Amino acid sequence: MMRLPAVPLSGLPERVTVYEVGPRDGLQNEPASVPLETKLEFIARLAAAGLGAIEVTSLVRPEAVPQLADADELLARLPRRAGVRYPVLVPNLHGLERALALGVGEVAVFASATESFAQRNLKRTRAESMGNFRQVCRRAGEEGTRVRGYVSMCWGDPWEGAVDPLEVVKVAAELVAMGCAEVSLGDTTGVATPGAVNDLLVRLDSAGIGPAVLAVHFHDTYGQALANTLEALRAGVTTVDASAGGLGGCPFARSATGNLATEDLVYQLDGLGVASGVDLAALAATSLWLARQLGRPSPSRAVQAVAAELGAV
C-alpha cells in the first residue's frame, strides 16, 4: 500500500479514538441478516486491526431491527480482546437489564434532536424518550456501567428541514445531566458542512459542553464526512464514530446513506500524523473480506484503492 509521509497540521489532537459502529450501525441497514458466525469474525478482525471501541449490536425488539435479532447469542459468544470496549445500544430500561445480564460493561442510548424523528424512530415524543433514558442512566449508574448518548438529526431532519442548533444543545445538556459520559453528535442525513459543524460545537462549548465529552458521527450523503471530521478535530473533539467499509445508514430515515468509512478516516489521520492505533492495511483487508461475504463492493474509497493495488477488483 502506497503511503506518503505524515504532514501534520497545527491545532489537531495528538491522538483520536476511533469508535467503530460497523457491527451495529452498519449491519442493521443490510437488506438481509448477516450470519452470526460472520458477525463474530467481523468483530474479532476489527479488534485485531486495533479498534479499541467496537459497538457490537443493539438490544432492540427483533421485529424493529431483524438484522440484529441475534444480539443475545452474539453477546454470549463474543470473543473479547483485552483492552477493547464492546458497547451495546439499548432502547430502554428493559434493554439495559438484558445487557447487564449478559455482562455488558458499556451501553449507549439513542436520542433525537427533533420531535419528528423521535416519534418515527423511538415511537415516543422527545420528552418521553428522554425520561426513558433518564431511567437507563440512573440504573446504569447503580451498576457502574458507562453510558454514551447519541443525538441524531443534529443538523438536518428529512421531515423538519434544518435543525435549530439550540435544540441540539438542549438535548445534549440533558444527556450530560442525566449521567452520559459521552455525547455523540449525529449528522444522520449527512447534510452538514464544516461551517455548520463549527457553529454547533461553539454553541455547545458556550453551554458548558466542551469537546472532552463530545464525539462526532457523520454520514457521507453529500461527501462531507471527512471535511466535517477535520473541522471537529480542529475544535478539539477526539472521538470519531466510523463504520468499517462505509457500511450503514439509518433504516428509519431513507435519505441517510452510509457512515464515514473507518478506512477513509484512518488514512486521513495517518496522513496528518494523528495516532489512532488502527492498522489501515489490516482494517482494509477486513472490509474486503466482509464485502465478499455481503456479495458487493465496499463503498469506502480507501478500501477500493487498496483493493485496486492488490488486484482484488
Give the pLDDT confidence of 188-235 residue by residue, as tens digits. 999 999 999 999 999 999 999 999 999 999 999 999 999 999 999 999
The pLDDT, as a whole number, for residue 109 is 98
Residue 94 half-sphere exposure toward CB, CA atoms < 13 A = 3
- Span 169-182, average pLDDT: 98
Q: Quick one: pLDDT band at residue 117, thresholds 50, 70, 90? A: very high
Torsion of CA 210, 211, 213, 215, to 10 degrees: 140
CB under 8 Å to 176, separation ≥6 — which residues? 149, 183, 209, 213
The pLDDT, as a whole number, for residue 312 is 58
Q: Which residues pair with 108 in a beta bridge?
A: 89, 148
Q: Quick one: pLDDT band at residue 94, thresholds 50, 70, 90? A: very high
The pLDDT, as a whole number, for residue 257 is 62
Contact 284, 264 (CB under 8 A): no
- Span 10-36, average pLDDT: 95
Question: 213: which DSSP letter?
Answer: G
Q: In this prediction, what percent of the chain has a pLDDT beyond 70? A: 96
Q: How many residues belong to the chain?
A: 313
Write 294-301 long-range contacts (CB < 8 A, 24+): 294/30, 294/34, 298/245, 298/246, 298/261, 299/245, 299/246, 299/247, 299/258, 299/261, 300/244, 300/245, 300/246, 300/261, 300/262, 300/263, 300/264, 301/261, 301/264
pLDDT digits (tens, 9 = 90+) for 261-309: 999 999 999 999 999 999 999 999 999 999 999 998 888 999 999 888 8
How high is the mean pLDDT of the chain? 94
Quickly list DSSP for 177-191.
Answer: HTT-SEEEEEETTS-
- Span 171-178, average pLDDT: 98
CB under 8 Å to 35, separation ≥6 — which residues? none
Could you say which of 137, 154, 180, 250 is catalytic?
250
The pLDDT, as a whole number, for residue 311 is 74
* 250 catalytic per annotation: yes
Quickly list DSSP for 231-251.
Answer: HHHHTT--EEEEBGGG----T
Q: Does domain 17-310 have CATH number 3.20.20.70?
A: yes
- Span 47-67, average pLDDT: 95
User: What's the maximum distance between 2 C-alpha atoms anywhere in the chain?
Assistant: 53
| Burial class of residue 269 (count of CB atoms within 10 Å of its CB; 0-12, 13-18, 19+) | buried
- Pairing, β 53-54 against β 17-20: parallel
pTM of the model: 0.96
Phi, psi dihedrals of residue 251, rounded to the nearest 5°: -65, -10
Contact 168, 206 (CB under 8 A): no
| Burial class of residue 6 (count of CB atoms within 10 Å of its CB; 0-12, 13-18, 19+) | exposed
pLDDT digits (tens, 9 = 90+) for 9-19: 999 999 999 99
Phi-psi sector, 24: left (phi>0), alpha (psi -120 to 50), beta = alpha
